[in-house]
Structure 1
Amino acid sequence: MSAATSTTDSTTTNTTNTPTFTTDPTAPTNTTSAPTSTTGSAALATKTSTPTPSTNTPGSRSPCQKDPCKGGSSCVNLHDRWFCLCLEGYYYNTSTCNKGKIFPGTITVNIASTSGLEDENSMAYQELHFKITKFFEKAFDSSDYGQTVIGKLSTSPSARSAMHTVDVAVVNIFLETTKQTEETVSRAIERAIKHSANEFTSYIEQDRCDYYGCEKENGQDDCTSGLLCQCKPGLLRPNPQIPQCVALGPKCPDDCNTQNTEKQCLVKDSWNATCVCPPGYKEDDRGICQQCAFGYSGVDCEDSFQLILTIVGTIAGILILGLVIAIILVSSMNKRRNVEQQKLIENDFQNRKLRNTGFSNLGADGSIFPKINMNLPKESQPQNPYVIQGGIPRADY
C-alpha cells in the first residue's frame, strides 16, 4: 500500500502528512474541521488538530496554490514541498482518502539543532518531517502500512552531547482490515531503531483509548472505533462524527453578568468556573456585589492598602504640623531670649565703661556724665543778666 503523496513542482515522492494534534486526551483539544467532502464514509469524519499555516515564510513558494490534492483532502505547505492531508483516521493514497486503523505513539529523534522546528514552513521542519516519514516507510515496508501523521514536537538538550532529542507524537495508519496490533507495530519500530541508533532513540506506544479520550469498558476493549467508545469523565464528543473526546470549556452559572448581582464569571482552570464579584466589590448576604468600604479594595475587599495609606498619611501630617508649630515656638523663644541677652550685654558694657572712667553710676538719661543736684540758696545762685527780674508789664490797651 502506497503512502501519502508529497511533491515539489515536478517531482513525486512517497511520504505522509504532518498535522499538529494533541496526544494527551485529557487535555483540552482544539477541534478544526477538515474538508467536508470525501469518498465513502469519510465525508463525516473530522480531524482534531491544529491546522498547518496556509501562508509561506518569506522566500518560500506556495505549491498548494494549484490545489493538487483530491478526494476531499487538503494541501499542506512545508518549506518548498507539499503533501495531502486527509481527515482523522484516514490516509491519503492515489488521490483518495481511505479509512484506516490508527496506532499512536511517540518516537524520540536525535537532531543537531532545534532552531526553526517551531515553524512548519521552515527548512528544518521539512527535513525532520521527511526524516521521520521515510523511517516509518522503511520500518513497515512489507506490511499494509498506509501513512504516518506527525504531531506535536517536544525538544530537550542531551546531557551527554551537543545533540538534542526531539519527542515527536506520531500516528501510524494502516489498512482498516489490517491484522497489525500494538505489539507487532512496536516490534517493527524497535527493529528499525536498532538499525538507526544514531538518528532515533526510542519509541513509546500510546493506548488507543487514551488517544481518543475514551474509557475502556472491559480489558479487551481497544477502542478500535473511536466513534463508539465512551468518553472519559470531563470529556465530551462535540460531534457524533468526531472520534476524539475533547475537554469543552467550563460553563459559567446562569446568574453571572446580570445587572442585579454585578457578578463576573471566573475560569479558575480547565474544568471549573465560578461566579465572583469583580475587584473592588464584595458579596453581601443577599448575594449582591457591594462596593468596598472606604480604604478597602481588591478581590472580596481584602486589600486594605488604601486604609493603611490613609492612616499613615494622617499620622504623618499631624507629626509634620506639630513639628512646624514646635519650630515656630522655639524660634520665638530664642528671639525673645536674644533680646534680653542683648540688653544685659549693653548694660554690662556701660557699667564697664563707667568703672574705667571712675564713675559709679549713670546719669538719668543714661549718659556717662551724671547730673548732680545741688541745693544752693537762692541768693547764691548766679544771676542771668538776660533774665528780666521784674514782672512783665501789662498791656495798656
Structure 2
Amino acid sequence: MKCFLAFLVYSATLLSTINAEDIPVFGADYYVEAVLSLPYAEIKEPIIGYFDGTHNRSRIDYYGDLVQTIQRPDLNEGGVSFKFAYMVDQKGDAQRVCFQVNGSQQVPVSSQPLLPDLTPFKKIGSDVCSDIFGLIKENTVCERWEYSVTYGDKSNKYVFWLSRDSHSNPVPVQYLMKGYDSLLGSHYDKYEVYYKNYKSGAIDPQVFELPANYTCRSFPGPGVEHIGHHNPIREFISGADSHVDSEFAKFTDKHDKRYDNSTHERGRKDVFRQNLRFISSKNRENIGYRLSVNHLADLTDFERRSLRGKRYSGVEYNGGLEFDKTKYSLNAVPQQWDWRLSGAVTPVKDQAVCGSCWSFGTTGTIEGVYFVKSGHLVKLSEQQLIDCSWNEGDNGCDGGEDFRAYEYIQKVDGLHTQ
C-alpha cells in the first residue's frame, strides 16, 4: 500500500513537472519590437520593449523615441517611473522633457514586460502564423495558446501564438484579446499585439539610464491617471485599466452625463475607453497638436459623423473661381502663419447636436475674410444659413454643403450678425 501511495505521489509530481515544462517561458531578459493594433480606435502603434527581469527594470518606446517610458523598481523604496516626451515651449518649439513619478509602498512602480505571462494559458492546437511584417516563411505553423476569464457578464478571451527557434525556445508572434459582454450582446473590446525581432539575452544597462543633462519634473495631476500616461502598455499586457474608470468618472461629472440605466452607461463607457485610447495614442505620436477628452468622448464614430453635417452631393463644379497663383510669389510665403494671432478668428463655437458644420465653416471663412478686408471682426449667424438655405439644397441640421450656403448669401446680399 505504501509503495502504491508513493507511486501516486511520484506520478503526480512528474505530471506536474511535465505540465509546468510545457508552459512557454520567455527569457528573463529580452528585446522585442511590436505593433499594438486597436481596431475599434483605428490605431496601429509601433512599440519597442527592453525587459531586464534579472535586475527588475524595463523600458518601452512608442512611435520610435517620440515617447519613452522607463520603469525602475530597483530605485528608491517604491521605485521610480520616468517618461520622456515632446512638448511645445512658450516659443512654440517642441522640446523633449522628462517627467518622474515616485512609487510608494502602497503604489509601487513595477517593471513592465511586453510579453504576457502564459502560466494560465492552455495549448489548444496550432494555426498558420499571422505575419504582418513579412518575416515568417509562408505557411509556417504557430502554436495556439488560450486563456478565458469571466467577470460577471463580461467574458475575456486571450489568445497567444508563438513559433519555436532551432532550440525549441518560444518566439512570440501574436497576442489577441477579445471581450464579449453578454448583457449588451456584443463585443466590447479587442486589441492585438504583433511581435518581431525577439531576442532573448542580457540588456545593456545603459538602456535604462537617463540621458545626460535632463532634470525630470513631477507629473501633473492625481496619481491613478499615471497608469495611462506613464505606462500605457500596461493596460494591454497586464490588464490594468483603473485609469479608464477614473477618467470616465471625471468625464461624466464634468459634462453632467446622465444615462438611461446602468446598461446604457456600461455601453457608453466601452465607447469612451476606445476614444480615450485613440486620444492617448495620437498624443504619443506627436502629430503637431494635442487631443483631449471633450463632451463627445462617449459617442461612436458613426454618431459623431452624423453631427458633422457635411453632405457630398456629387456636384462636379460648385461655381467657385479657380485660384490665380500668378498673383502671388511663393518666395514671400512665411514658414508659418496663425490668423488667430492677428485677431481674424472668432472664438470657438459649438454646433451641439445639430449636423451643421457646413454652416459654421461658411461663416468662419467669411468672418476671416471680412477682417482682412476691413480690420473688424464680427460674428455672423450660422442659424440663418441653417434655417433659410433650404431652397439651395441644404438640409438644416441634417447636413449641407458650403457652396450652396454661398449661393444663398449671394442671393440675399449677405448674412446677419449674431
User: Which band: TM-score by shorter chain?
Assistant: under 0.3
TM-score normalised over the length of structure 2: 0.24
Larger radius of gyration: 1
The structure with more strand, counted as a fraction of residues: 2
TM-score normalised over the length of structure 1: 0.25
